[in-house]
Each structure stands twice: as C-alpha cells, then as structure tokens.
Structure 1
Amino acid sequence: MDVLAAYFTSTGFAGMTWGNAAMIAVGATFIALSIVKNYEPLLLLPIGFGMIVGNIPTPPGMQLSVYEPGSVLSYIYYGVRQGIFPPLIFLGIGAMTDFSTMLSSPRLVLLGAAAQAGIFLTLLGALWLGFPAEEAASIAIIGGADGPTAIFLSAKLAPRLLGAIAISAYSYMALVPVIQPPVMKLLTTRAERRIRMKPARTVSRREKILFPVGGFLITSLIAPGAVPLMGMLFFGNLLKESLVTERLAATARTSLIDIVTILLGFSVGASTQAQTFLRHESVLIFALGAASFVVATAAGVLFAKFMNLFLKDKINPLIGAAGVSAVPDSARVVQAVGREEDSSNHLLMHAMAPNVAGVIGSAVAAGILWSVLAK
C-alpha cells in the first residue's frame, strides 16, 4: 500500500488543480475550433495540444516542463524564449509573399501604416493600466495581428508575459473572420462597400528584385531593432523573386516554415501552465489585445475614407481593414465582405497591398519600440 500511495502522489491526478483543468479545457477548445470551424488550424491545433501537454502536472525534479532547465520541452521552447523562431517564420513569409500589388499602388501602403494606430493606442492603454513600459510595448504589438512579431518583442522586453501575449496574438489572428466584419460594416456605407477599383498595373521583374534590397535598407535604417525580422522577410522574398534560387525559396516557404510553426505553436501552448498563466495580467492582456485589434481595423477603414476625400480614383474603404498583418486572412475577409454587396467585385488583390504593408509596419513598430526601450 505504501508503494501504491507513493505512486499515486507521482501521478498527474494528485497534482491536478482547477487551473490545470481549465487550461486543458481551453486547449481542447482550440483544437475543436481548428478542426470544426477551420479557424487557423495550422496555429490553433499545435497551440491547443501544447496547452494540454503543458498542464499535465509532473513530479518535481523530473525535468519535464518548459520551465525546467534540461527538459526536452525547455530546449524546444528556447527558440521562442530567445526569439529564434519568429525570424525563421518571417523568412518563410517572405518566400511566399508577392509584393506586386503594393508596388503597383504605393498609396495603399498608407493603409498598412494607418492600421498600426492600434499598436500605439494600446501602448497608451497598457501604460494607463499600470504596466511597465517594456511590458506595455509588448502587449501593444498584439494590435498588429502578427504572432511572430509579438513573440519576438515579448521575448526581448517582457519574457514574464510571453505566454499570455503569444496566446492572445494568435487567438485574435484566428478570429479575424469573426472580429473584423462587424467593424468594417459599421464604419462603411453600402455604396462604399460596392466601390470598384482599377486593376493593378504590371510590376516588372526588376522592380521585384530591387524592392527587397531597397525595402530592407529603408526599414532597417528607420528601425534597427527590426533588422532580424526585416532581414529575413526581405531575404526570403529575394530568394523568391530572383528566380535563380527556387530550391531555397521552396524550402523556406514549405518545409522550413512548417517545421518552425509546429515547434513554435506546440511550445507556446506548453508554456501556458496554469500556475504561471492564470494571473490578473493575462485577463488584462486579452482585453487590451481585443481592443487593439478593433482599433487597428477601424483605423485602416477610416483612413481609407479620409484618403477618398482627396482622390479621384476612389479606394474601397474595406481594404483598409487589411492593414493589420494577418496575412492573408484579413485580405480574404475583405474579399468576402465586399462580395456580399457585389458578387462580381474582386478586392482580394487590392487588399493584399495593405496586408503585406501591415506585416512590414508591425515589424518596424516593434523595432522602434525595442530600440527605444532596450536597456
């Protein structure tokens, strides 16, 4: 009986708390949403299963959790904690991104910039709630709807809140089709949603090759803190557009990004142990994340309406919502909302311009905040 009693105390049942059970339920919900609703399955399924794994109580000293030095999970989580995975994700994004629509209509870059208002307004809100400047900046990046960027900045400035910020950022990225349409419809009229835009001009190969080099120089000089992200993003794009390194580009946008996504999602989920995750700050982070995402969407739409006051060729304000960097989900939402009003109106390619500009904008914003707040 003594042996049985000793064994029971070493099982997960003995150490299970209501918090662990709640986080396991959240993980199961993420898995269900990814399978049943198809909400960002490539992200939510690894994160959800990681939550379940991370909240199984383990005996102390066995080196099993992400927070125990020497454990297998801690080695995987090292890529998150040290900000290694996000630049690799950006390499893959660059290798699969076509910047042609942005280059063909540079004015649409302004919509991507306007959507970053969600970041800086959330920064003020987090400071008002009492968060230190470093943590407030990390929370604010959630408004960019860019999970890798949020993880990268949090790892540098607010490692204590890394799990909560990462889960919040990826959760709202998955909920783009739920959160954005009501905001878009509230701020636009039916006539505005039916605006047709002229086809984009053809972009030459020379422009496509020069842009990654020029884009990197400009963004890195403005925000040196964004060098790891911008360097990998534009390097991946150059691999794609040069047409002489197709094997490398194909690896970056398929095998590499898939492997890193699996490791990042699973380890981030495993870091959400109830004992470290269920805190007052986590609730505030989720609330601020939701607010920042709504503000970013609204800012993009409203700035498009503002631009129309001075433009002869009007912009469909819906594409302003794609200024957040959830690529390509926000652009797809714009397409879906636009086709509800006019089934023959195709906005996807136009929306991709502010969408990819938003990726650059959120990374530059993160670089600026890191440069200013780094100690």
Structure 2
Amino acid sequence: MKFFYFLFIFFFYAVSAQKVRIVDAENGNPVSNARIILRDQIIYSNEDGFAPLGQDAGDFEVSASGFQTEKVPVFIAEIKLKPIYKNIDEIKIINVDIRKIFDDVSKNYDKRYYNGPSLYDVVYKEKNLDNDKLFFLVIAEAKLWSKNNRYNFKDGIRKNYDDILQMQLNNVKYFKNDKSGTVLSGRTDEFSHEQLGNFFLNYELYRMQQHLKMKECKYSGRLLFEEGDEQVIAFKVQSGNGAQMEGEFKYNKADKVITYFENHYFQSDYPTMKKTGTDGREFMYKLGDATLIFDFYKKDGVYVPALTRLEGDKFTFFYKDEAHVRKFSREIIYNTFNKTDKGLDPKVNFKVGIWENVPVKEEKTETTLLSAEEQAFVNQK
C-alpha cells in the first residue's frame, strides 16, 4: 500500500515548544548541527541554530565542528560556543600522517566502535532544492536496527540490505513534494549499494584508503587544535584519478577513535555526461560537490553514532535551454541507543522508495524543529 498524503505540522507545538539557540560567541551567528547530549537522548540544532529543549534540562554537553565543547549545568535560552581558532593562518603547522590514522582506525574498527546489534530511535530528514528553490522535504521519526554498526560489502553488493541495516517508519511528521518546482528526476527511488554504504564511517574510510593508495596521490594533514585527548586535524587529498578532497576530523588519541569526520568532495571539474531520466527524457548532467559527515559519542563506555549527513551542491541538469542546479541533503540523527538482538518487524523495503512503505504509528517527544525556510515551504499552498 502506498501513501501519498501530506502530514503537516502540529502548529501549536511549533509555536509554544521550549527551545534553545546555539550561537557563535564571536559574532552571534547561529550554529547549525550543534550536538546536545542529554542523559538519555541526542538532539541537534537546525539551520537557524534552534533545538527543542525543555527548561528542566540540565547537566548537558553542547559541541559543534569548529567550536569548543561546552558543559551546561542549567537551562539557558542562548548558548554561546567559542571557536577553536579565529584564523587558520595563525595556527602553528604540525604535520599529521592521516593515512596512518585511517589505516589504524579501519583495521581496528570493530574493536573501537560498538559492533553488536543495536536499535536507535532516529529522525530522518531529506530535502532537495532546484535553482535555490526548495521543492522536496521530508522529516520522519523512525527506528534503525544495525547488525554490527558497520557496512558489510558482500551483503551490500548482493543487496542483502536487511543483514546490514533495517528501518521502520513511525511518524512522517512533514512530507511535501512540490513537483512544479523541478522538471527532471535523474534517479530511481531504489536504494543502491553506495547509498547504503554512505550511512557508515567504515565505508567512507575504505573509500578514502583507495584514493590514498593510488600511486600519484598527494595528501597532507595538520593539527589545528588539541585539548586533553582530543585533536582536531585538517586534511587535503588529491587522488591519482583527479578527485580532490578536503576536510577535518576529531581524533581521540587515547581511545584511537575518530569521533567526528567531515569530508568535502570537489567534483565540478569532471566532464558533462549524457543521462536518461526516470521518465525517459535525455539530458546533460554535471557532477557537483558533495560532503559527508559522521558524528559519534561515547555512551556506557562504547562509541556509537550520533549523526550521519550527506550534502550535495552544484549538481547541474541541462535540459533544452534551461540549467537546473540541484542542492540536496540527507540527515539521520540517532536520538537514542539500545543494545538488542531483535530486528524490526515490519521494516522498510529498501528495494522500493522509502516513502512507499507504510509507517507504524508511534508518537514520540519532539526532537526536531523546522528552519524558517522549511516552515515557509510547508506553509505555502
């Protein structure tokens, strides 16, 4: 059974809910994707820096890429994060062998990250823009079950997705697809081997290792910041096949774990290709830039995922005399973590579009807030 109805906002909640705002202590700008670790839950700030948080919250931790971690004893309406550095040019250059770190973390992945069956309450968020106009948005509460919190290549290639990851829709909070805002669809809704792999850090590390092993590859790493056992390391990679990557990661040198990883792929120099859309129309297509982000935290002595995020920009479709520049993002926030051997039933069939699956209704405490742009898109007729 397919569902094509829209589930819109509980407007009263959006107006009256308690919330906190995370800002840059230097300039007051909102900090998006700031992580808040509560006693039994993880939440993140939206693009405007807001996160749903009750006034009874206390003794929580707030962190974000590029900022120092803050311990907050009692609720305050605005939390200011201090940048770890003001000007990257002022940083003392300390070279780091990133290949050695990536190889070591990959080799010992199952020892350093939780590798047993686990169940998560998650928020799944996906949106797409065409020429800077938002045309697709979905935010859903769901459950994710993972067999060992890593990507298994054999199962992935064989499309045995349920042996790697299972998903159950619980509550599709917002779902809107304004087809008038776009003219082309360049992909099918079926999950692919690579799409599922992008859920897992070990898949991304494997991909990085393949680039670093190439004969003509050039790479560098340098230490940006260090406090206690935590290091922030920036890196650049120019692969032997012409791919260019740049990013940074947080590394716990005591546990030898990458706790945050952000990698930007610069692909706009690749040649334009001819493609055929799902409706049979031919068009020209140019790759854009992509970003992958993975965030982990330590709970009960083990490292478990807090967030995975995939972003794309400047992916361009040329059709007739028009150019359509696409921007997209897919984000999963792992609100809770529990160890369990039991998989999900029913579960999403990844061989069809996710939103063709029927949700299993389950009301939960609100863990996400719409940005102003998303709110305007949902409200428009």
TM tier relative to shorter chain: under 0.3
Bigger fraction of residues in strand = 2
Scaled by the length of structure 1, the TM-score of the pair is 0.24
Bigger fraction of residues in helix = 1
The higher relative CO (CA closer than 8 Å, separation ≥ 6) is in: 1
